[in-house]
C-alpha cells in the first residue's frame, strides 16, 4: 500500500495529488494531529494523506486520525468513524456547484470535471446550483495569513539563513515581512466571513464540488531550477480552488477524473461539512468505478 503523509496549508496535499493522478485528503482542521510537524503556518495547516486509491487513503486516514494529547487542537473533535465510507449508493446526495467558480479553469479541466458531474447524476446525486461570495477576498486573505505566519515562524533564523532559500521563497518572505498587524487581522475577519458563507451553502447541500486546480501540472521552465522562480499568474491558477478549505478548516479531497489530450492527470475537489470525511471518501471511491486509470509514463513498480 504505497502512501505518503503530506502537509497542506493552501493545497499542498490536494494539488500535487491532482497533478500526479493520486487521491489527496486534507481532513477537518484538528482532525489529524500536527504533533511533530514544524509550526510553519499553524492556523491553516493540515496533515493528511496522498495515496494511489480511495481505499488506501481511507486505511491510512483510519490509522492517523483522532485526538492526540500532544496536540491540544486535536482534542476537540467528535469520535472519528469510517462506517459507510465504501457505500457506493450515492442516491439523494446533494452536490453543490457554483458554476461561475467551477468553470474558472482551463477548458480541458472543466470538461473532465463536468463529465464527472454527469456520472454522479447518473449515480442518483442531485446537482444544486449555489453561490459563494467573496472568493477573491478569500484568496488575498489566505495569502496574507499563510505568508505572515511563515515569516513569523522563520523570524529567528531569517537574518542568518534567508539567503539559503530558493529565490521564490525569498520573494514570498520579503513580501510577507511588509504586512502589518492590521493586514493580518483584516484577513481573519474575511476568514470568518468565508466560514459563514460555506456553512450557509452546506445547509442546502451535502458537499461542494470544484476542480482541484485551475490548470494541470505546468511545465518546469528552463532556468527555473535549482534556484526557483515566482510566477504569480500560474500560482493563482494552481491554487484557485484549494485555499478556501484551509481558511474555513473544512475537509477536502482531490481525486482523478480524467486526462488532458497530452496525458496529464486532471483532479476534482470535494469539500464537505466539518468532520464529514466519510462522504469525501465515498465520492472518491465512486469516481474510481467510472474513471479511466493510467499508469504514469515514468514509474517504479513496487509490487511485482
Phi then psi for residue 249, to 5 deg, are 80, 5
Lowest mean pLDDT among 131-145, 191-205, 210-224, 250-264: 210-224
Per-residue DSSP letter, 103? T
- Strand segments, DSSP code E, in the chain are 3-8, 23-26, 46-51, 94-97, 126-129, 207-211, 252-259, 265-272
The whole-number pLDDT of residue 161 equals 92
Share of the chain above pLDDT 70, in %: 99
Domains, the chain, with CATH or none: 3-288 (3.90.1300.10)
User: Exposed (0-12), middle (13-18) or buried (19+): which is 211, by Cβ within 10 Å?
Assistant: buried
Judged by average pLDDT, the poorest of 33-37, 44-48, 164-168 is 164-168
Average pLDDT over residues 175-192: 97
Torsion angles phi and psi, residue 256, rounded to 5:
-70, 140
Q: What is the pLDDT of residue 2?
A: 83
pTM higher than 0.85, yes or no?
yes
Amino acid at each position: 500500500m504505497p502512501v505518503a503523509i503530506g502537509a497542506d496549508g493552501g493545497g499542498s496535499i490536494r494539488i500535487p495529488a491532482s497533478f500526479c493522478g493520486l487521491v489527496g485528503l486534507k481532513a477537518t482542521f484538528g482532525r489529524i494531529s500536527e504533533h511533530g510537524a514544524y509550526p510553519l503556518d499553524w492556523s491553516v495547516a493540515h496533515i493528511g494523506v496522498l495515496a494511489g486509491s480511495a481505499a488506501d487513503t481511507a486505511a491510512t486516514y483510519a490509522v492517523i486520525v483522532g485526538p492526540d494529547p500532544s496536540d491540544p487542537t486535536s482534542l476537540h473533535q467528535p469520535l472519528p468513524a469510517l462506517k459507510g465510507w465504501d457505500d457506493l449508493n450515492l442516491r439523494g446526495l446533494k452536490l453543490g456547484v457554483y458554476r461561475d467558480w467551477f468553470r474558472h479553469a482551463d477548458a480541458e479541466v472543466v470538461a473532465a470535471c463536468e463529465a464527472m458531474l454527469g456520472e454522479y447524476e447518473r449515480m442518483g446525486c442531485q446537482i444544486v446550483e449555489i453561490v459563494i461570495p467573496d472568493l477573491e477576498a478569500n484568496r488575498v486573505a489566505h495569502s496574507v495569513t499563510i505568508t505572515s505566519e511563515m515569516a513569523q515562524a522563520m523570524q529567528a533564523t531569517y537574518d542568518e539563513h534567508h539567503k539559503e532559500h530558493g529565490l521564490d521563497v525569498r520573494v514570498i518572505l520579503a513580501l510577507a515581512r511588509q504586512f502589518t498587524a492590521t493586514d493580518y487581522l483584516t484577513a481573519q475577519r474575511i476568514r470568518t466571513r468565508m466560514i459563514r458563507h460555506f456553512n450557509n451553502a452546506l445547509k442546502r447541500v451535502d458537499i461542494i464540488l470544484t476542480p482541484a486546480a485551475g490548470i494541470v501540472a505546468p511545465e518546469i521552465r528552463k532556468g527555473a531550477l535549482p534556484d526557483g522562480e515566482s510566477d504569480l499568474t500560474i500560482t493563482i491558477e494552481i491554487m484557485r480552488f484549494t485555499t478556501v478549505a484551509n481558511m474555513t478548516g473544512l475537509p477536502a479531497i482531490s481525486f482523478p477524473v480524467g486526462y488532458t489530450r497530452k496525458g496529464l492527470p486532471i483532479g476534482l475537489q470535494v469539500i464537505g461539512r466539518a468532520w464529514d470525511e466519510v462522504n469525501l471518501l465515498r465520492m472518491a471511491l465512486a469516481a474510481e468505478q467510472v474513471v479511466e486509470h493510467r499508469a504514469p509514463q515514468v514509474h517504479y513498480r513496487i509490487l511485482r
